[in-house]
Structure 1
Amino acid sequence: MFSSLSVRNFRLFVMGQLVSVMCTWIMIVAQDWLVLSLTGDSGTALGLVTVAQFTPTLLLTLYGGRLADRYDKRRLLVMANLAAGAVSLLLALAVLSGRAGLGVILVAAAALGAVAAVEMPTRMSFVGELVGSDLLPNASALSAAYFNAARIIGPALAGLLISGTGSTGTVMLLNAFSYLATVAALLMMRPEELHRSPVPRQDDRITDALRHVTSRPDLVMPLALAAVVGLFGFNFPLTLPLMAKTVFHTGAASFGLLTTAVAIGSLFSAISSTARRGRPRAAVVTGSALAFGVFETAAGLAPSFPAAVVLLAATGFASVSFAQTANHRIQLGSDPAFRGRVMALYTLILQGTTPLGALIIGQLCEHFGARSGLYAGGLVTMVAAAVALWAQRRTREETASRSPQYVEATE
Structure 2
Amino acid sequence: MTSWGVFQPFANGRFSLYFSGQVVSNTGTWFQNLALSLVVLEATGSARALSGVTIAQFLPLLLLSVPAGRVADRVRPRTILLITSLLSAAVVGGLAVATLTPDAPVTVFYALVAALGTVHTFERVAAQAIVFELVGPGELGRAVSLSTIALASARSVGPGLAGVAFQSLGPTACMLVNAASFLLVFLSIVLIRPSRLHAREVRRRDEGADRYRVGRDPALVTLLIVNAVVALLALNLMLVLTSTVTLTFDGDATAVGVVHTLNAVGAIAGGIIAAGRASVSVRSLVVACTGLGLALLANAVAPGLPVFLALGPALGLGVGYYQGVLNAAAQVSVPPEHIGRMMSLVTLGNYGMVPFGAFVMGWVVDEAGGQAALAIGGTAALACAVFVRLRSGRRPTA
Asked if the contact 1:61/1:117 (under 8 Å) is kept, the reply is yes
Structure 2: how far apart are the matches of 1:262 and 1:54? 22
2:107 is aligned with 1:103? yes
Deviation at 1:204?
A: 4.1
Structure 2: how far apart are the matches of 1:363 and 1:275? 39
Partner of 2:322: 322
Identify which range, 318-327 or 97-106, moves more after superposition. Answer: 97-106
Describe the SS at the equivalent of 2:73.
helix
**Identity fraction in percent:** 32
2:153 is aligned with 1:149? yes
Partner of 2:29: 24
* Letter of the 2:200 counterpart: S
Asked if the contact 1:60/1:117 (under 8 Å) is kept, the reply is yes
Q: TM-score, normalised by structure 1?
A: 0.92
Partner of 2:3: none
Partner of 1:409: 396
Partner of 1:49: 53
Asked if the contact 1:89/1:177 (under 8 Å) is kept, the reply is no
Partner of 2:18: 13
Equivalences for 1:350-369 in 2 at 5 Å? 350-369=350-369
Partner of 2:243: 242
Deviation at 1:277?
A: 3.9
Of 134, 138, 141, the match for 1:137 = 141
Equivalences for 1:224-303 in 2 at 5 Å? 224-278=225-279, 280-303=280-303
Structure 1: how far apart are the matches of 2:364 and 2:37? 18
Structure 2: how far apart are the matches of 1:284 and 1:330? 11
Shift of the 27–144 alpha-carbon distance from structure 1 to 2, 3 Å rule, reads same
Partner of 2:42: 37
* Structure 1 segments unaligned to the other structure (5+ residues): 397-407
* Letter of the 1:250 counterpart: G
Structure 2: how far apart are the matches of 1:100 and 1:204? 47
Partner of 2:348: 348
Structure 1: how far apart are the matches of 2:33 and 2:160? 12
Partner of 2:220: 219
Equivalences for 1:80-99 in 2 at 5 Å? 80-98=84-102
Of 174, 178, 182, the match for 1:179 = 182
* Structure 2 segments unaligned to the other structure (5+ residues): 1-5
Structure 1: how far apart are the matches of 2:359 and 2:375? 16
Describe the SS at the equivalent of 1:70.
coil
* Letter of the 2:255 counterpart: S
Describe the SS at the equivalent of 1:409.
coil
Deviation at 1:160?
A: 0.7
Asked if the contact 2:234/2:378 (under 8 Å) is kept, the reply is yes
* Letter of the 1:260 counterpart: T
2:331 is aligned with 1:331? yes
Deviation at 1:364?
A: 1.1
Structure 1: how far apart are the matches of 2:306 and 2:141? 34
Asked if the contact 1:209/1:342 (under 8 Å) is kept, the reply is no
* Letter of the 1:328 counterpart: A
Q: Map Cα deviations across residues 299-354 of structure 1 (whole Å, 9 max, x no partner).
A: 11111212112323211111121121121112101021211010010111111111
Asked if the contact 1:137/1:276 (under 8 Å) is kept, the reply is no
Describe the SS at the equivalent of 1:234.
coil
Structure 1: how far apart are the matches of 2:154 and 2:350? 21
Q: Map Cα deviations across residues 247-279 of structure 1 (whole Å, 9 max, x no partner).
A: 11111000111111211110111122232343x
Q: CA RMSD in A?
A: 1.6
* Letter of the 2:250 counterpart: H
* Letter of the 1:324 counterpart: G
Structure 1: how far apart are the matches of 2:245 and 2:283? 35
Q: Map Cα deviations across residues 145-186 of structure 1 (whole Å, 9 max, x no partner).
A: 222111111000011111112x11111111111101111111
Describe the SS at the equivalent of 2:138.
coil
Asked if the contact 2:51/2:239 (under 8 Å) is kept, the reply is yes
Deviation at 1:291?
A: 1.6
2:63 is aligned with 1:59? yes
* Letter of the 2:229 counterpart: V
Structure 2: how far apart are the matches of 1:366 and 1:79? 39
Describe the SS at the equivalent of 2:396.
helix
Structure 1: how far apart are the matches of 2:295 and 2:32? 27
Shift of the 242–191 alpha-carbon distance from structure 1 to 2, 3 Å rule, reads same
2:202 is aligned with 1:188? no
Structure 1: how far apart are the matches of 2:117 and 2:184? 20
Structure 1: how far apart are the matches of 2:216 and 2:162? 45
Shift of the 110–243 alpha-carbon distance from structure 1 to 2, 3 Å rule, reads same
* Letter of the 2:368 counterpart: F
Asked if the contact 1:240/1:258 (under 8 Å) is kept, the reply is yes
